[in-house]
Structure 1
Amino acid sequence: MLEALFSLIAATALLLGSPGPAPLALAASGATFGVRKSGGFLIGILLGLSVAIVGATAGIAALLAAWPEARLAVQLCGALYIGYIAIKIATAPVLEQGASATAQPPSLLDGFIFNLLNPKAYAAFLAIFSQFLLPIEESGLSYLATGLVCLLVAAAVDFIWLCLGGSLRPVFHKPRQARIIRVCFAVLMVAAVLAVFIRGSI
């Protein structure tokens, strides 16, 4: 059981903690708006991830694989929404003269929609549940325990990404560097989405 738990934690951390649209968006939000102001965005992302966990256990990932048209539509919606978040971060005002006080960080709803429209999350959890399901005799309890562990690991790695971004915040008092970093984060978010499309692995 302990070995299975460690394997599950490692697999989840690697799948959800690698640089992808959600971790990069959290880091960018932390750098742009600070860790505290980005808390709602983080909670929204985790709520969206919870839906992905439930969806994976309900077989939504399999349905998306069976109907490529629906899968493509969800992919496009997700990509457009990630692009919207990237633009929001890239165009946020710099910190000088109190401009950041009027800037609105991505909200809880933004985070929720962000992961709700992320078919990669459903596919990742389908893989986790098929390969790393905790060996508990009661099937329902096994899925529930596995899902909870995944959510806790996701919360930890996402918070780390948010804090990493937040550590760059002092740089944002320098307008030129701030703009460069924001645009770089936005470009990386869009590049991560494009890479997934090119690989065809969303």
Structure 2
Amino acid sequence: MLEALFSLVAATGLLLGSPGPAPLALAASGATFGVKESTGFLIGILLGLCVAIVGATAGVAALLSAWPEARLTVQVCGALYIGYIAFNIATAPVLVQEHSAAAQPPSLLDGFIFNLLNPKAYAAFLAIFSQFLLPIEESGFSYIATGLVCLIVAAVVDFTWLCLGGSLRPLFHKPKQAKVIRVSFALLMVAAILFVFLR
């Protein structure tokens, strides 16, 4: 159980914490408007993530209950998606959104809509639930516990990006440093998937 929990936390942290749209938006907001002013945006992003978790949980649970033999197919699709995301992260251009001095910080509603319409969030949780489901005998509790762990990890990771926004923002304006960070995240994501398949 501890090994499964560690794998889930590590995979969730790497997948959600890699420099994608939400983390970069939080970092840019934190750098531009400050942590306090960006807290509503963070809460909105986490609420949108809750919808993605419920959607992915319901989808995976229904699929695997109806067709238990589909587990390997779902796992392979999840692994391919994580590999695709890792490739996109490693090869993405350097980009940080700039905000004008007169701009208002993004709101709670902005954050909610941002993640509600983010297909990466749904696909990421589909991949996580297919690969790293906690081994609890009652399947319903297994999905709930896995979802709660994912939400806690997401809250910690997103808050960290928000707090570190001021210090990370200059790095993403320097192509060499940005590339090293992106490739490192991508390699760590691929290593997490290989760990699951080889254990």
Band the TM-score falls in, shorter-chain normalisation: 0.5 to 0.7
Cα distance in 2, alignment partners of residues 51 and 34 from structure 1: 26
CA 135–51 in structure 1, closer or farther in 2 if over 3 Å, else same: same
Q: Which consecutive residues of structure 1, in runs of 5 or more, have no partner in the other structure?
A: 64-85, 94-101, 170-180, 193-202
User: Structure 1 residue 57: deviation in Å?
Assistant: 1.3
SS in 1 for 2:135: coil
CA contact 2:27–2:168 (8 Å) conserved in 1 = no
Q: Root-mean-square deviation (CA), in Å?
A: 2.8
Partner of 2:142: 142
- 1:151-162 superposed matches below 5 A: 151-162=151-162
Cα distance in 2, alignment partners of residues 49 and 20 from structure 1: 14
Deviations 1:92-134, CA, capped at 9 Å, x for gaps: 21xxxxxxxx641000000000000011111110111111000
CA 35–91 in structure 1, closer or farther in 2 if over 3 Å, else same: closer
TM-score, normalised relative to structure 2? 0.65
User: Structure 1 residue 167: deviation in Å?
Assistant: 4.5
**Percent of counterpart pairs with the same letter?**
82
- 1:42-191 superposed matches below 5 A: 42-59=42-59, 90-93=98-101, 103-167=103-167
Letter in 1 for 2:158: D
TM-score, normalised relative to structure 1? 0.64
CA contact 2:32–2:99 (8 Å) conserved in 1 = no
CA contact 2:12–2:153 (8 Å) conserved in 1 = yes
Cα distance in 1, alignment partners of residues 168 and 145 from structure 2: 36
Does 2:37 correspond to 1:37? yes
CA contact 1:35–1:166 (8 Å) conserved in 2 = no
Cα distance in 2, alignment partners of residues 14 and 33 from structure 1: 26
Q: Which consecutive residues of structure 2, in runs of 5 or more, have no partner in the other structure?
A: 64-94, 183-199
